[in-house]
Chain A
Amino acid sequence: MTAALRDALLAGFVAAAMALPILGFRLVDSANGLSLAGRFDLVAWSAAIVFCGRLAVKLVLPALPRLPAPPAAFGNLRQIAGWGMAGFALVLPFLPFADRNLVDKATLVLIYVMLGWGLNIVVGLAGLLDLGFVAFYAVGAYSYALLSQTFGLSFWVCLPLAGVFAAGFGILLGFPVLRLRGDYIAIVTMGLGEIIRVILQNWQDVTGGPNGISGIERPSLFGLSFKAVPPEGQRSFAEVVGLDFSADHRVIFLYFLILVLALATNLFTLRIRRLPVGRAWEALREDEIACRSLGINPTTVKLSAFALGAMFAGFAGSFFATRQGFISPESFTFHESAVILAIVVLGGMGSQIGIVLAALLLVGLPEWFRELQQFRMLAFGGAMVLIMLWKPSGLLSHREPTIRLGETR
């Protein structure tokens, strides 16, 4: 008890000292330059909060019962949960409480789920730590926007093209990276991501620079438009189905579009894990030297992972462009890469359902608290640190073996 008290007192003291310069004084713009205003009550508050928190951690945490181990049928349960989630996602727009706002937010979460699943191929399966994933997302978005504005191509033509372009960039950027190991890959990919963003920002003639591209064409469903007044030669969706026109139709359509894209990514990942190339990725992640001696060519295997991950980011990017109708380099900062990587790692690398959970937690929850805008990012960073401290290998770290030898019980 006394030890805990002393420890908490020390923590409170350290917190007060840390808060003193940054929180205790505020820089105020005044007539003759900057001046200072004291706010020492905040210092006292932070010290008190840290003291109480530390005391609680020291006294309460050891007293808590340990969580029971997950039941043996957990793998099965996970499969059921996966189907349940997919089913729920399918009916979500038609539930009574689902308004336009909710569907819109669900669409945003699904974009991140899809990006997470795409990055999972690179990070989770192939074990290449990619901190510049947003570059491929940007390539997808810009290739759709530019193709549609320059050549008047429709979304459905551009979608595969965006994927191909992004994959091409993946191979291009993958080449210098492949010779490196571990953390170096992270830094180089981060640098490459920044290079792409800086180019987008400064290549005014093509990308519009910081102003971005606006008025991007919205997608149609088999030639049926979602506009109130369909363009020449097209019929509107509402007219054909026999509904009154509503702007909600497009929101729901976009939701289903990203749902289908995301589920396709998921299916692809699940299937490719059983193919030789998928097995090679996971083998390479575990031990590169062993792989080489077994005759696997690390370069092609890694490049394929890079290209495929980039392709899905490209799809997601062109969806993002068509949903927003406007893109600018602002949307493709390093922060986005960090969010996507955090989703993959927090979810538990390689776990598809974990990524959904992490995306809900990191993207969905903050969207909910938009009113608390200024504390949103603080909570976001806090969540990243706390989840890592609590579960260092991710929320659902259990990894399904790629192959089982012999009978399993």
Chain B
Amino acid sequence: MEYFLQQLINGLTLGAIYGLIALGYTMVYSILGMINFAHGTIYMMGAFISLIAYLAATTIGGASVVVALFVALFATMGFTGLWGWTMERVAYRPLRAAPRLAPLISAIGVSIILQNFVAQAQGARVKPLPPVIRGGFSLMEGDGFAISLSWMQIIVVLTTLALMAGFTWMITSTSLGRAQRACEQDMKMAALLGIDVDRVISTTFVIGASLAGVAGLMVTLYYGVIDFYIGFLAGIKAFTAAVLGGIGSLPGAMLGGLLIGLIEALWSAYFSIEYKDVATFGILVMVLVFRPTGLLGRPDVEKI
């Protein structure tokens, strides 16, 4: 029982990170109907940028840990947002009217470029960061087994909740969110009504990339090891999360992320750690076959 609870906590933390990445997928998909394949790579860059910003703030700027963490947070959000903006501007916008496959190939190209760019600029070796935030408290002491909840896990979950709340507020009650929902429903009509569609799409990419960047920061702090290849698997899993929750639905993305995190943690704990990716992909296939709209998604009505 204790073991199960511990895995539950670990899984929820992992799931919160997947959920943050999944939000970016689901936003872009709901507006453009395209899978932004390079999104996982942006998350990887977020991890590197946050590591560099943190080190720069502590070693060069001489800031304390708390200040350095905030510097890292804002630097990561800013820089990954910029990368996301540029990516959309250079590689996707010219292809908006192109055949369906063109943006996908372009996105795969972008992710290959970014991955190798980081590998070249920072070296292919794994980058370790000693734990920044240590400690935590144990929730309950069983017979020789304590369930621990580290500060880091609390921070991950709280940050995710805060971002999620802010994000929901933005979508439901700001003019930007209204414009986004309008573009999602009908891009042409939104343009006719005076919404700058290009700007809305750019903002969507910036926000999605920033959220992925925050996820990268969390992973750097939580696991402490990153390399240039982490984006690929995390990207697929986050996409699975988005599909599982129902692509296009924001609470769905978060729910899907949590579920994927839980499944991965529990599967590794009780079955085999080697096949944990098979479990995730298996779930993706099952969901798509039996419930293609996901858990919270609305069915697509096909008009002839």
Contacts and interface: CB of A to CB of B under 8 A. Distances in A.
Contacts of B274: 198, 201-202
B136 interface: no
A35 B59 contact: yes
Interface residues of A, number: 57
Contacts of B122: 22, 26-27
Contacts, number: 174
Contacts of B284: 187-188, 191
Contacts of B166: none
B51 interface: yes
Contact of B121 (A26, A35, A338, A342): A26
> Max chain B CB contacts within 10 Å: which of A129, A180, A188, A393?
A188
B62 interface: no
Contacts of A338: 108, 112
A378 B102 contact: no
A188 B106 contact: no
Chain B contact patch, size range:
35 or more
Interface stretch (A66-74, A245-253, A323-331, A380-388): A380-388
Interface string B111-130: 11101111011110101111
Contacts of B59: 35-36
A132 B270 CA distance: 29
Given A183-B35, A334-B232, A385-B106, A392 B123 contact: no
Interface stretch (B11-19, B140-148, B179-187, B285-293): B285-293
A5 interface: no
22 contacts: A17-B82, A27-B51, A27-B123, A34-B128, A34-B129, A180-B292, A188-B284, A188-B288, A191-B236, A191-B281, A192-B281, A195-B277, A195-B282, A201-B274, A338-B112, A377-B115, A378-B117, A380-B112, A383-B109, A385-B106, A385-B110, A388-B102
In order of increasing CB-CB distance, the 10 nearest A-B pairs are A384-B109, A392-B98, A381-B112, A191-B281, A381-B113, A385-B109, A392-B102, A377-B116, A202-B274, A388-B106
Interface of A: 14, 17-18, 20-23, 25-27, 29, 33-36, 123, 129, 176, 179-180, 182-184, 186-188, 190-192, 194-195, 198-199, 201-202, 289, 334, 338, 341-342, 345-346, 349, 374-375, 377-378, 380-385, 388-389, 392-393
